[in-house]
Chains A and B, each alone.
Chain A
Amino acid sequence: MIRLEKRPQPSRAWSIATPLVAVLATMIAGGLLFAILGKDPVEAIRTIFWEPLFGEFAFYYRPQLLIKGAPLVLIAIGLSLGFRAGIWNIGAEGQYIMGALFGAGMGLAFYPLEAWYIFPLMVIAGAFGGWLWAMIPALLKVRFGTNEILVSLMLVYVAEQFLASMSLGLLKNPEGFGFPGSRNLQQYESAHNADLIAGSGMHWGVVAALIAVIFAYVLLNRHMLGYQIRLTGEAPRAARFAGVRPARLILFCLGASGMLAGLAGMFEVSGPSGQVSIDFNVGYGFTAIIVAFLGRLHPVGILLAGGLMALTYIGGDIAQSNMGLPSAAIQVFQGMLLFFLLAFDLLTNFRLRLGKPEVA
């Protein structure tokens, strides 16, 4: 009979090892899944994890890694602040959409003027859009005690409808022959979030993601607010006695995560995606939840986890075109990762003991 014994303190070693064990377990379970689907499991895993980095066409895929990883890291950093304090913003997908709409809207309002200040204004508008959308659940929680999980999630569906309405209406390309979708921002130089070094995939979103990582690290380790966030998550009662004001924390955590998600959306719409369209959002806001947990809610961890998750996206695309692996299989694969991570987290907080429990 196996029983659990609570560790007096979470194990540091397991805390670092858990994500690695989870990734290995996911590879095994994922391999089984691929085998059931009739694909060679070893080949599939190799295609997903090796091909984008060191394969024949790696020169094409490596920049993609930055393009896919940047929004994931940017959003996940924001989410991790709230998750640490027990504030659950799971509507990042909606904030991402609103950031993109505000950013693109700002840029398109200036069309066809070419000026240096357009792109910075778009960045501000994008951040504002995401922040605004996150302020709805934040203010409702502070003022009425409404559950932020449900409200932020409902707003994702609202934002999706809003996106559809915008790409069919207000932001539709007047020269687009009636097709839905806005003008392509890639062809509008002042609004284009171009690669800083051509062909490297290094656009402003990547820079923003790196800044966010450093900012979050400093905040959590060197700043009073970061201390309060950690304290609230680990000991809510103690935090209250220590004079932490919950309302301020809620507004900050949701606001910051909304802002970062909005930025991610804005950098995406003005760069890699190029235009506002009905199916602009691809679920980064939800995958970022996995990234945040996989990175142990730690800024550096999230950076690594974002890279890994981007790898599964790109590798998944390659496996789809080379091996006919369905795209949904990758979604299952990513979901499994979170499962295993949560399950193996047991080892961080508990010790497994063999033998019969004593009667207390």
Chain B
Amino acid sequence: MDLSAINPVLLIASLMVAATPLLLAAVGELVVEKAGVLNLGVEGMMIVGAIAGFATAVESGSPLLGFVVAAIAGAALSTLFAILTQFAQANQVASGLSLTLFGLGLSALMGQSYVGIKPPQMQDIHFPLLSDLPVVGPILFTHDIILYFGIALTAAIWAVLKYSRVGLILRAVGENHDAAHALGYKVLRIRVLAILFGGACAGMGGAYISLIRVPQWTEGMTAGIGWIALALVVFASWKPWRVLLGAYLFGGVTVVQLNLQAAGVAIPVEYLAMSPYLITIVVLVILSADKSSAPAALGRNFHASR
């Protein structure tokens, strides 16, 4: 075992990379849940985003275009969920599950000819002066643009939810859809838009895994990250900045266990690989005592005739 091979600066830098897919998917889901909708299809939307983004980037040579298409693909898949739950009044848990099952199959089908290909690389941004600082430079200022986009998106969602009229309406719909309807807000329209937004975020998160984090396409490569993102929203008590914190925590766990595997610690690889999932459970247990901050109408369908 050689722990000295682990470089703390690189470790923190790769922690941020590992956290970004989680962050993107989780803030998207946060908006969806704030509108009172529980979409369990995050895993499915992520994996479809991963292959759609990957394929686009490979064909066009532009990773950025890949991310755009991944967002569109994620949103497109979430439309199915929106139709099922908002118009066909289907059970949200079952619909979300069906989205995940369908997405996993669809991505495997789409990705057949892309196994083993290397995608075009995304350039890291070089900040003048800042990137050359010792320690801080490599940790904070030598990443790709999507990573910064994720943090900016978190800030934007926080500000919109807290200070804007749009945020207030979204929260009203999530807390009490009957009251919001009585006030004249279009409950279904707002929820559908929130679902599409969540889908786009999940799609981008998936593309971040296949284009930057790994970067490669393998079947089922999201390996439960979508589900961890769902847990993260609970963990964060539906607060954007806490989602960021949680994502970095889980990113940290993933990176540390990968580094320990590489360093050849005496613990078998399989047990190290279990750790992110086990820690998710432990965190859920600790934090699920407090449910007061959950949107009151979460998971309940709205039908105007009542």
Contact = CB atoms under 8 A, between A and B. Distances in A.
Chain B interface residue count: which class?
35 or more
B305 A6 contact: yes
Interface of A: 4-6, 37, 88, 90, 136, 140, 144-147, 149-151, 153-158, 161-162, 164-165, 168-169, 286, 289-290, 293, 326-336, 338-339, 342-343, 345-346, 349-350, 357, 360
Interface stretch (B61-69, B95-103, B144-152, B160-168): B95-103
A334 B40 contact: no
Interface pairs A-B: 9 shortest CB-CB: A331-B105, A335-B102, A328-B108, A165-B270, A328-B109, A332-B105, A338-B98, A342-B90, A346-B88
18 contacts: A4-B89, A6-B305, A140-B285, A145-B289, A149-B40, A153-B224, A154-B277, A155-B277, A158-B274, A162-B270, A164-B270, A165-B268, A165-B270, A335-B105, A338-B94, A339-B84, A342-B95, A346-B90
Contacts of A147: 231, 234, 284, 288
B98 A342 contact: yes
Contacts of A145: 288-289, 291
A165 B274 CA distance: 11
A144 B277 contact: no
Contacts of A153: 224, 227
B118 interface: no
Name the residue among A90, A147, A153 with the largest chain B CB count within 10 angstroms.
A153
A335 B288 CA distance: 31
B51 to A, nearest CB: 11
Contacts of B84: 339, 342-343
Contacts of A293: 94
Contacts of B183: none
Contacts of A332: 102, 105-106, 109
A339 B102 contact: yes
B83 A343 contact: yes
* Main SS at interface, chain B: helix
A169 B109 CA distance: 34
A191 B98 CA distance: 37
B109 A154 contact: no
B274 A161 contact: yes
A144 B289 contact: yes
* Main SS at interface, chain A: helix
Interface in B145-183: none
B270 A161 contact: yes
Given A4-B89, A157-B224, 11 more contacts: A144-B288, A147-B231, A154-B281, A155-B281, A328-B106, A331-B101, A335-B105, A339-B84, A346-B90, A357-B305, A360-B305
A328 B102 CA distance: 10
A349 B303 CA distance: 12
Contacts of B273: 161
Contacts of A90: 97
Contacts of A37: 109
A331 B219 CA distance: 13
B284 A335 contact: no
Given A150-B231, A157-B224, A332-B106, A339 B281 contact: no
A158 to B, nearest CB: 5
A165 B19 CA distance: 27
Interface in B18-47: 40
Contact of B89 (A146, A290, A350): A350
A161 B219 CA distance: 17
